[in-house]
Structure 1
Amino acid sequence: MKNVIFFLAVALLSAASCRSENPDDIRRIDQVLNIYIDSLGQDMLDNTLPGSYISVTMNDVDGLTDNAPVQYNLRKDESNMSFIQYTAGARRILLESLPGNKEIYRSRIALNMRKQLNDSVQSVTNDTLVLNYTLTPQVFEISTALYNGVPVFTKTPGAANVIKINK
């Protein structure tokens, strides 16, 4: 019995080591998205600034349940501007399969952002972000984005995925 287990382990390791070392066989993934939101030059994601959003939540519109939170990181860039860094988490819906092994996917994310107007009143902003992805044998990437139905991003090869929203 020990010989059979040993033989199976060697066979599995051999099969795993036969993968191609050709870098052209590896699919590049480019899906990290940085979202900046400002109003008249004010960083709306810096909750220490009066009038900025005190909280932001993201929910997957196409999630398996009504409450499907989407994870993100709130970061600051080198100029100390806050931005939402979204990597993944919203469900991707296949929209279209095209010739050449190309597929188009879509994710929809609801953003809920709250401002403190005074001691007892909060203002709530509900926005929608639609992300369109392209999948080919070479790359999986965000291709376009719409914010509240308005195009705000089109992929530029080699450039970072950055959306700047003005409120």
Structure 2
Amino acid sequence: MRNIVFGILIIFFALLSCRSGDEDSLQQIDQILHLYIKNSAGQDLLNNKTPGYFFAFPMNDINGNTNVAPVNASLKMRADSAYYIEYVAGAKRLTLDSISPDDRTYHSVIALALRRTVNNVTDTINDTLEIQYHWTPSAFQVSKVYYNHELKFTKEPGVPNVVTIVK
């Protein structure tokens, strides 16, 4: 009988230690980036029905451990048939500044090679994408995005991370 009570107490304390605790202590993560590429007429250059569209967009982590450090990104389509490149994560994040132990800025730098066919010849446009992240104990989120060293996005609360590039 004593072994049964002891076993029940062990199970009770094991279950008690597994509970999640305060839900407010969870860190919010917002790191998904949507990259739209259009021409000056507003046409979607990721759509294969647009003349001069980009058929490939390999991404390489400039801060990677090797010279060739591919970064995963995928081509997605919205309900209105607009295409975009979705980047979630994968490039190495380096510390830009550390204001305090509870407030840091990181960044990733990605080489983006946009490929298209012009007059039956493959043309590659090499661009740079820098993503800055802001970290606090309560949130980790994209804070700024630079495209070819030009600021294209600054985070606003509740707004998705969407960058539109005009080529």
Q: Judge same fold: TM > 0.5, yes or no.
A: yes
What letter is aligned with 1:148? Answer: N
Match of 2:127 in 1: 127
What is the match of residue 50 of structure 1?
51
Cα separation, 2, equivalents of 1:35 and 1:16? 43
Provide the rounded CA distance (Å) in 2 between the counterparts of 1:65 and 1:11: 50
Identity %: 37
State the partner residue of 2:109. Answer: 108
Residue 99 of structure 1: how far off its partner (Å) = 2.6
User: Once superposed, what is the RMSD of the aligned Cα atoms?
Assistant: 2.0
Is the CA contact (8 Å cut-off) linking 1:116 and 1:122 kept in structure 2?
A: yes
Shift of 1:18: 4.0
Change (3 A) 1:15 1:128: farther
Query: Does the C-alpha gap of structure 1 residues 153 and 12 become closer, same or farther in structure 2, counting only changes over 3 Å?
Result: farther
| Structure 2 residue aligned with 1:3 | none
Quote the Cα distance in structure 1 between the aligned partners of 2:14 and 2:118. Answer: 61
Range moving further from structure 2, 50-59 or 30-39: 50-59
- Quote the Cα distance in structure 2 between the aligned partners of 1:85 and 1:12: 44
Judged with a 3 Å threshold, the aligned counterparts in structure 2 of structure 1 residues 97 and 111 are, in CA distance, closer, same or farther, namely same
Compute the TM-score of the two structures, normalised by the length of structure 2. 0.87
Q: Which residue of 1 aligns with 2:36?
A: 36
Q: Residues 115-154 of structure 1: matches in 2 within 5 Å?
A: 115-119=116-120, 121-154=121-154
How far, CA to CA, are the matches of 2:127 and 2:67 in structure 1?
16
Is this contact kept in 2: 1:101–1:137, CA < 8 A?
A: yes
Q: Which amino acid aligns with 2:108?
A: S
Amino acid at match of 1:102: D
Q: Deviation per CA, 1:14-69: give whole Å up to 9, x if none.
A: 5750431x221000000001000000222111234331112111111101111111
TM-score of the pair, normalised by structure 1: 0.87
Gapped runs of 5+ residues in structure 2? 1-6
Aligned AA for 1:66? N
Matched residue type, 1:25: S
Tell me which structure has the larger Cα radius of gyration.
2
Whether contact under 8 Å (1:47, 1:55) holds in the other structure is: no
- CA drift of 1:75 comes to 0.5
Is the partner of 2:24 in helix, strand or coil?
helix
Q: One-letter code of the match for 2:115? A: R
Paired residue total: 158
Q: Deviation per CA, 1:66-97, whole angstroms, max 9, x where unpaired?
A: 11110011011122111001100011001211
Q: CA deviation at 1:100?
A: 5.9
